[in-house]
């Protein structure tokens, strides 16, 4: 049996990560032992239960999973972890609290499409919502889908797209979130819309505040797929889109399909550590694998090296480069080429020359961006620190007033 030096098997690792499809493959197809003990006497079921991966818990229990306690294997319901994770379908919180009947939904129009599903504008109890339909409908897809829901329903912050419910009892599987007006990618593509410096900083600050929340949770969440298309403007859906972008819209982080909830890895955690702030997580949580969009991907991810929360800080920097400089990063390269050059040649986007020199604010923003895309992840600031610095920059900028009239195609800024 394959093990690491802590006697953790692939099933242990998959259970910790909540990787439903991997657990399914190991247990059902590979027929691996379901109750191996690691060096600390933990079974895969204990790992899944401790990390609140309900779907993986149910799968392991169905395969004979148990908890090692008192020198013997006992059922979860008879162990010290009983009650920590519901083990009967009627007890599982997301079923009772979040389940939505497809009959309650009226699909209005298709507003987007991705690798994993299509997104529709839908009406639900009189309100417009975003409905994401899962393309795959097999058991493994449903398990992964429910694992994603388990992350979504824990996220509550003004700068996070709000999860509203899901349809998981019949196909097609659907997840409902609040409907947003447009994305930052849309704003970048609409050439008639130009944010002034204060608005640029406001957008970056909304973005950073949302990420500071994700990274500072008791169980931090790494987004791992930050890009302009996943930053959305919310607000009055009856208002002009230009008004939301240039003035009143709140930026929210969306699309948590690649997000990962992190728990401390004992072999990496310093024994003397007592500080659990986001600043202390950088050497405690390590992931590997290539996830996210190439143009905004951190070099260590592209190189398949261990990485941590700071990959999101790198992506933040590349996005803010375009936001502050109003030019696309690596404009002459395709995404894969850009990622390869950033990872293998330490290439970064080139700041355009500014006639007359940089203002104090512009210089501060460029310095922040450069620190955030540092090749050494440990030198990149945390999002808590980024928020503090952006708040300081905002204090240096005058308030702006936008006026809109029905006869204008766009708007005026004063």
Token pair belonging to 391: 């708040």
DSSP 385: H
For the chain, the domains span: 10-88, 94-178, 182-413
DSSP 13: H
Q: 12: closest CA among 216, 274, 267?
A: 267
Rg of the chain in Å (alpha carbons): 23
* pLDDT per residue rounded down to tens, the chain (414 residues): 777 778 889 999 889 888 888 898 999 888 899 999 998 899 999 988 888 788 889 899 999 999 999 889 999 888 888 766 655 444 444 455 788 999 999 999 998 876 667 899 999 999 999 999 987 766 666 676 777 787 788 899 999 999 999 988 888 889 999 999 999 999 999 877 789 999 999 999 999 999 999 999 988 888 888 999 999 999 888 888 888 999 889 999 988 765 555 544 422 222 233 333 444 333 334 444 444 489 999 999 999 888 899 999 999 999 999 999 999 999 999 999 999 999 999 999 999 999 888 999 999 999 999 999 999 999 999 999 999 999 999 999 988 765 555 454 555 554
Fold of 10-88: 1.25.40
Fold of 182-413: Transferase(Phosphotransferase); domain 1 (1.10.510)
Tokens 């933040």, residue?
316
DSSP 6: T
Q: Which residues contact 244 (CB under 8 A, 6 or more apart)?
A: 181, 182, 233, 234, 235, 236
The confidence score (pLDDT) of residue 86 equals 58
Global confidence as pTM: 0.74
Q: Report, as residue numbers or ranges, the catalytic residues.
A: 225
The confidence score (pLDDT) of residue 93 equals 43
Q: Rounded distance, CA 16 to CA 52, Å? A: 9
pLDDT digits (tens, 9 = 90+) for 68-112: 998 899 998 888 887 666 554 444 444 557 889 999 999 999 988
Q: 3: closest CA among 46, 31, 32?
A: 32
| 132 in a labelled binding site | yes
The confidence score (pLDDT) of residue 286 equals 44
Fold of 94-178: Phosphorylase Kinase; domain 1 (3.30.200)
CB 116 within 8 A of CB 64: no
The end-to-end CA distance of the chain, in Å, is 69
- 72 strand-pairing partners: 69
Rounded to 10 degrees, the C-alpha dihedral 395/396/401/402 comes to -100
- Give the β-pairing of 412-413 and 250-253: unpaired
Looking at beta carbons, which pairs linking 190-197 to residues 24 or more positions away fall under 8 Å?
192/409, 192/410, 193/242, 193/245, 193/246, 193/410, 194/326, 195/245, 195/246, 195/323, 196/400, 196/413, 197/361, 197/362, 197/397
Token pair belonging to 69: 């306690």
């Amino acid at each position: 049996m394959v093990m690491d030096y802590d006697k953790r098997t692939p099933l242990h690792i998959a259970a910790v990560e909540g990787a439903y499809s991997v657990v399914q493959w190991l247990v059902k197809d590979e027929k691996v032992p379901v109750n191996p003990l690691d060096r600390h006497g933990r079974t895969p079921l204990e790992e899944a239960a401790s990390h609140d991966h309900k779907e993986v818990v149910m799968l392991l229990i169905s395969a004979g999973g148990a908890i090692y306690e008192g020198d013997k294997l006992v059922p979860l319901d008879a162990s010290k972890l009983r009650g920590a994770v519901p083990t009967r379908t009627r007890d599982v919180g997301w079923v009772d609290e979040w389940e939505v009947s497809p009959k309650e939904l009226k699909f209005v129009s298709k507003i987007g499409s991705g690798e994993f599903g299509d997104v529709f504008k839908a009406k639900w109890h009189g309100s417009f919502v975003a409905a994401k339909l899962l393309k795959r409908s097999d058991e493994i897809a449903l398990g992964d889908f429910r694992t994603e829901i388990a992350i979504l329903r824990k996220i509550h912050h003004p700068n996070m797209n709000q999860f509203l419910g899901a349809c998981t009892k019949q196909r097609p599987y659907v997840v409902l979130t609040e409907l947003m007006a447009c994305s930052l990618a849309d704003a970048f593509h609409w050439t008639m819309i130009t944010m002034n410096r204060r608005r640029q900083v406001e957008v970056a600050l909304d973005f950073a505040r949302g990420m500071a929340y994700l990274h500072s949770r008791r169980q931090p969440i790494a987004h791992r797929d930050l890009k302009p298309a996943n930053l959305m403007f919310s607000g009055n859906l009856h208002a002009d889109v230009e008004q939301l972008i240039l003035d009143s819209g709140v930026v929210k982080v969306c699309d948590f399909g690649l997000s990962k909830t992190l728990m401390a890895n004992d072999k990496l955690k310093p024994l003397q550590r007592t500080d659990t702030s986001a600043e202390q997580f950088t050497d405690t949580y390590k992931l590997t694998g290539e996830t996210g969009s190439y143009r905004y991907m951190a070099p260590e991810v592209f190189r398949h090296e261990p990485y941590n929360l700071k990959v999101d800080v790198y992506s933040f920097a590349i996005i803010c480069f375009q936001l502050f400089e109003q030019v696309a990063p690596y404009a002459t390269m395709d995404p894969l080429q850009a990622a390869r050059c950033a990872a293998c040649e330490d290439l970064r986007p080139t700041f355009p020359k500014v006639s007359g020199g940089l203002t104090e604010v512009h210089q501060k923003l460029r310095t922040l961006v450069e620190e955030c895309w540092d090749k050494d992840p440990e030198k990149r600031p945390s999002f808590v620190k980024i928020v503090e610095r952006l708040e300081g920059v905002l204090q240096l900028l005058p308030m702006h007033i936008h006026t809109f009239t029905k006869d204008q195609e766009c708007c005026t800024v004063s």
